[in-house]
Amino acid sequence: MRPFPSRGLYAITQSANSSAYTLFEAVSAAIRGGAVVIQYRDKNPTDAVFVARELVKICHQHNIPLIINDDIELAIHSKADGVHLGKEDGDIIEARKRLGDTAIIGVSCYNSIERALTAQSLGATYIAFGRFFPSSSKPLAAPAEIDILRKAKAAIHLPIVAIGGILPENGGQLLAAGADLLAVIGGVFDHEPEQSAFAYQHLFDN
């Protein structure tokens, strides 16, 4: 298992309307551009185990973790480094029991410090807040206030991930408020992924 990084760009795959091999190329390019963790997110997968296993290989060649969105079973079968859980995606304790002590378990906390504190107490590896800005990938997601990051930084000792419409132009304010990692879907994978990922790197240089 690769450890979860403490800071950097967290790239989440954009799998719609692309072949598996196009996805593999895009993920490799995002890693070359500086992504420090990849999440495999595909709401309508055709061969999820194959794709996830190949992504694990790509990520591990670069010594970074591959996290599966929503699916504990897929994380087990693909030997991924962990899973990311939303509200409807299962239980932290169950995920820890099935994936093991060293697995990464991330939890979506939306705009709720209470949910984040509960996740921390149940053994989550990191917590995620958002969406902070309008997002084409998550257009119906409830908005989060930037102040939630300040509250989380004061109350929580886990890495804090921000997500939702994050661009190189607006990500700095989230880091300044307390985010450790910026989770990006379209901002990386809607364009040329290596150059797009690289564009976020100056935010982490300070």
Q: Are 198 and 26 in contact (CB under 8 A)?
A: no
pTM across the whole model: 0.95
Q: What is the pLDDT of residues 104-144, one digit of tens each?
A: 999 999 999 999 999 999 999 999 999 999 877 666 677 89
Q: Is residue 96 part of a domain?
A: yes
Residue-level pLDDT at 139: 67
Q: What is the pLDDT of residues 17-47, one digit of tens each?
A: 778 999 999 999 999 999 999 999 998 888 9
How many domains, the chain? Answer: 1
Residue-level pLDDT at 137: 65
Q: Is residue 110 part of a domain?
A: yes
Share of the chain above pLDDT 70, in %: 97
Burial pattern 31-68, b for ≥16 Cβ within 10 A else e, equals bebbbbbbbbbbeebeebeebbbbbbebbeeeebbbbb
Domain residues for 109?
8-204
Q: What is the pLDDT of residues 55-111, one digit of tens each?
A: 999 999 999 999 999 999 999 999 999 999 998 757 999 999 999 999 999 999 999
Q: Is residue 2 part of a domain?
A: no
Q: Is residue 174 part of a domain?
A: yes
Q: Are 128 and 163 in contact (CB under 8 A)?
A: yes
